[in-house]
Chain A
C-alpha cells in the first residue's frame, strides 16, 4: 500500500497554492470559530483564568513564613534582634523564651523554622562571635533553603547595625557581600513567573485550539468532500492555520497586556519583537496541535494527547518554576525538545531585560527550527487520499 501511496496522483494544480482556496477555507474556519463559542472561550477566557492562577497562586517569595524565635535570656542585644525579626515582612514571628514551648509547633508543621538564641548568646556577643541555632523543616526543600538564607542575612545585617550604632570599627565580617539584582531588583518571583507563564498558557491554548480541528473534519466526513474538490495539502493546512493564528496572537497580546497593566510586571523590550517571537512560537504551538490532530484523526485521542503534552511537561520542564540546570542530564536533554522552554526564556527577557538579541535570536531560531520540523511532519502526515 505504501509503495502506491508514494506514487499517489498529483493534482494538476497541487504545485502552487491558490490564495482563493486558502482564503475560502480560512473564512469557513472563521465562521466556525464565531459560531462555536467554545473556541472563543478557550482563546480568551481560559488564558486569563490561567494567568490569574499563575499570578496569584504561584509565588516563590516567602511572605509571612511562620517562624519561631526563642530567646532564652533577654538582653538589649536580643531585643534588637527580635525587633528586626518582627519588622521583616518575610516572617510571621512566634516568640517564646523556652524552646519547649515552640517545639510542638515546629513538629506539627505550624512553624517552618525556629531560631534559638541560647542562654549564652548575650555573653558570647560581648566576647565577639556568637552561635545561633536554626531549626528548619526540610520537607519543602526549597523553602527551607530560602529560610536559611533569609535568617542568615538578617543576623548579619543586625550585627553590622549593632556595630555601627556603637560606633565601633567592628565589622560583621571583613568582607561584605553587596548583592545587586538586575532586571528584577525586588527579586519578585511574580515578575519572573508571569512572563514565563505566558509561554505555558500559550502552549496549552495553541495546542487545544488546533488539536481538534483536523480530527473534526475526518470525523464529520467533511474531509472526504474537501479532498474530492482537489485542494492541496498546503492550501488545506494554511486555511486551518491562519484563523487560529490570528486568534492565538490576539489572545497572546491580551495576556501580555494584562500582565503589564494588572500585575505591574515591567516591560522593557519592544512590543514589536515580542509580537514577532510570539508569532514564531504560535507557528510551533499551532503546528503541534495540527500535527497531533492530523496524526490521530480521532478527536478523543487528539484531546488526550494534547492535554498530556500541553500541560504538565510545559509547566514542570520549561524552566518556568524549576531550574533546568539542576535537573539530571537526561531530563535536561529532554527539556531541549520542549519548545515552551525557549519561549519562556524569550518572554522573560523581553519583559524584564529588554531586547537582548543574543537570547531572543537564539530562542527564536530554535523555535523556527521546531516550526519547520513540525510543519514538515504535519504536511507529510496530511493524507490526500483516504488510505
Chain B
C-alpha cells in the first residue's frame, strides 16, 4: 500500500513540475501576489491631500496652517482654499481628504485667552481615512497649542489636559506591512493548496486518466492520500519561502517560535487540503472546480481578519467566520511574527483548526468514496 501511494505521489509531483505552465502557476503568482498585495494592503493615511481654509489674518492662523505643510509623509499635497466654494470643490472632487477651516477670529480668540475653534471637514466617502485623518489633524492642532503655550505666544491661563502616553506593542511603528504580510502568508498558501488539490481530480476526469486509476488496484483512500500529499507539500514549502522572504527581504520581525508556526501551518493546510479534496470530489470538470475554489476563497478572505478586524463582523454571520480556518491562521501567523506568544495564548487560535481539519478530511474521504459511483 505504501508503495502504491509513493508511486502516486511521485506521479503527482511530476505532473505539477514537468509542465511549465503549471510549474509557473504554482510558483510565481503566490510570491508576486505576496509582494504586491502586502504593500497594497495598507490602511494608513499617507500621501494624502489636505485643504487649508484660513480666514484668520493673524500670525497664529498662518503658523497653524504651516504646521500642516510640515508633514509631507502624511499630507503630501496642501491645497489652499480661499472661499467656502473652494472647500466644497476640493472635497467633492476628492482632491483632499479633509479641509482645516481656521476661522476669522482664531488669533483674536487665542490672544484674548478664549478657546478657539478649528473646524475639520472630512470626506466620509472614505470613512476609514476620514477617521484616521481626524486623529492626525487633532494631534497636529494639539501639538501646535502646546508649543504656542510653551513659547508664550498665547495667553497663559488655567488649562488642563490628559496627555495620553501611548505605547504600541508588537508593531511599534504601526507598520502596515507587518500586519498584512503575515496575513497574506495564510491567504496565499491557502490558495496554492486549494488550486492544486481542487483541480487535480477534475483534470484527471477530463483527461480520462481517472478511470485508469480506478480500475487499478489503488483504493479510494490511497488515491485520496496520493492527491493530498503533493498539494500539502507544495503549499507548505511555499509557506516556508514566504516566511523567509518576509524576514529577510521585508525586514519583518520573527519573535515567536518557528516550530509553533510550522505546526499551525501544518494543521491549517490539512484543513485546506480537505476542502480542496471536497471540491475535487464533487466537481466533474475543471471549470466547476475553479468555481468551487472561488466560492470558498471569497468569503474565507473577507472574513479572515485580513482587511478588517474579525470583531467587526456582523453577529449574523459571525458563525461563518468562526468556521473559517483562514481566520485562525491569520491570527496565529500575526502573533508568531510580531508577538512571542506562549502556548496558552496561541492555543485558542490553534485548537479550532483541529476539528475543522478532521471534519474536512473525513467528509472529503466520504464524498470521494461516494462520488466514485
Q: When A and B assemble into the complex, do they touch directly, with CB atoms less than 8 Å apart?
A: yes
List, sorted by A's number, 24 A–B pairs whose CB atoms are closer than 8 Å.
A50-B298, A53-B299, A109-B335, A109-B339, A131-B162, A132-B162, A138-B174, A139-B179, A149-B135, A149-B138, A156-B138, A172-B161, A173-B115, A174-B145, A175-B144, A178-B120, A180-B122, A183-B124, A183-B125, A311-B294, A316-B37, A316-B307, A323-B46, A353-B92
CA distance A123 to B68 in the complex (A): 35
Name the segment of B213-221, B312-320, B350-358 touching the other chain. B312-320
CB distance from B206 to the nearest CB of A (A): 9
With A142-B44, A325-B45, A326-B46: A134-B165 Cβ-Cβ less than 8 Å: yes
Q: Establish whether residues B39 and A327, one from each chain, have CB atoms under 8 Å apart when the complex forms.
A: yes
- Given A141-B178, A184-B127, A322-B41; A303-B290 close (CB under 8 Å): yes
What string of 1s and 0s marks CB contacts (under 8 Å) between A140-164 and chain B? 1111111011011101101100010
Q: Residues of A contacting B309 with CB < 8 Å?
A: 62, 140, 143
- CB of B303 within 8 A of chain A? yes
How far apart are the CA atoms of A129 and B148 in the complex, in Å? 16
A83 within 8 A of B: no
**Contact B314–A191 (Cβ < 8 Å):** no
Q: How far is the CA of A152 from the CA of B164 in the complex (A)?
A: 7
Q: Are B124 and A138 in contact (CB under 8 A)?
A: no
Asked if residues A57 and B302 are in contact (CB atoms below 8 Å), the reply is yes
Q: Which of A54, A131, A155, A178 contacts B118 (CB 8 A)?
A: A178
A334 in contact (CB, < 8 A): yes
Given A136-B166, A136-B167, 16 further pairs, Cβ under 8 A: A58-B312, A130-B160, A137-B169, A146-B128, A146-B135, A148-B166, A175-B116, A177-B118, A177-B120, A178-B118, A181-B134, A187-B130, A192-B127, A307-B293, A315-B307, A321-B308
Q: Cβ of A174 and Cβ of B127 under 8 Å apart? A: no
The residue in B94, B142, B175, B312 that gathers the most chain A C-beta atoms within 10 A of its C-beta is B312
A173, chain B: closest CB distance, angstroms: 5
A189 at the interface (CB under 8 A from B): yes
Q: Let me know if B339 and A174 touch, CB within 8 A.
A: no
Chain B: minimal CB distance from A317 (Å): 5
Q: What does the 1/0 interface line of B209-230 toward A look like (CB < 8 Å)?
A: 0000000000000000000000
Chain A residues contacting B313 (CB-CB under 8 Å) are 56-57, 59
CB neighbours (8 Å) of A304 from chain B are 25, 290
Cβ of A170 within 8 Å of any chain B Cβ, yes or no, is: yes
| Of the residues A50, A145, A319, contact of B135 by C-beta under 8 Å | A145
Contacts of B241 in A (CB 8 A): none
Inside 8 A of B244's CB, which chain A residues have their CB? none
Q: Which B314-343 residues sit within 8 Å CB-CB of chain A?
A: 314, 316-317, 320-321, 331, 334-335, 338-339, 341-342
Query: How many residues of B sit at the interface, in one of the four size bands?
Result: 35 or more
Cβ–Cβ contact B47 & A141, under 8 A: no
In the bound complex, do residue B121 and residue A56 qualify as a contact, i.e. CB atoms below 8 Å apart?
no
B58 to chain A, nearest CB (A): 13
Inter-subunit contact B116/A136 (CB<8 Å) = no
Residues of A within 8 A of B25 (CB): 304
Q: If the complex has contacts A57-B302, A130-B163, A159-B162, are A352 and B124 also in contact, measured as CB distance less than 8 A?
A: yes
Tell me the B1-54 residues at the A interface (CB within 8 Å): 25, 29, 33, 36-37, 39-48
Is the pair A353, B149 in contact by a Cβ cutoff of 8 Å? no
A175 touches B170 (CB 8 A): no
Q: Are B127 and A134 in contact (CB under 8 A)?
A: no
Nearest chain A residue, comparing its CB with the CB of B156: A174
> Distance in Å from the Cβ of B164 to the closest Cβ of chain A?
5
Judge if A250 is at the interface, Cβ distance under 8 Å.
no
Q: How far is the CB of A357 from chain B (nearest CB, A)?
A: 9
A271 close to B (CB within 8 Å): no
Docked complex Cα distance between A359 and B90 (Å) = 11
- Asked whether any CB of chain A lies closer than 8 Å to the CB of B247, the reply is no
Q: Give the residues in chain A near B92, CB-CB below 8 Å.
A: 353, 356, 358-359
* Pair A129/B159 contact, Cβ less than 8 Å: yes
Q: A193-214 interface mask toward B, CB cutoff 8 Å, 1 = contact, 0 = none?
A: 1000000000000000000100
Cβ of B166 and Cβ of A56 under 8 Å apart?
Answer: no
Tell me the B287-308 residues at the A interface (CB within 8 Å).
287, 290-291, 293-294, 297-299, 301-303, 305, 307-308
**B302 near A53: Cβ-Cβ < 8 Å:** yes
A145 B121 Cβ-Cβ under 8 A = no
Q: How far is the CB of B345 from chain A (nearest CB, A)?
A: 4
Are A125 and B179 within 8 A (Cβ)?
no
Is A48 part of the binding interface, using a Cβ–Cβ cutoff of 8 Å?
no
Docked complex Cα distance between A188 and B119 (Å): 20
Q: A60 within 8 Å of B by Cβ?
A: yes
Q: Which residues of B contact A61 (CB under 8 A)?
A: 127, 312
- The answer for the CA separation of A146 and B345 in the assembled complex, in Å, is 24
Residue of B nearest to A327 (CB): B40
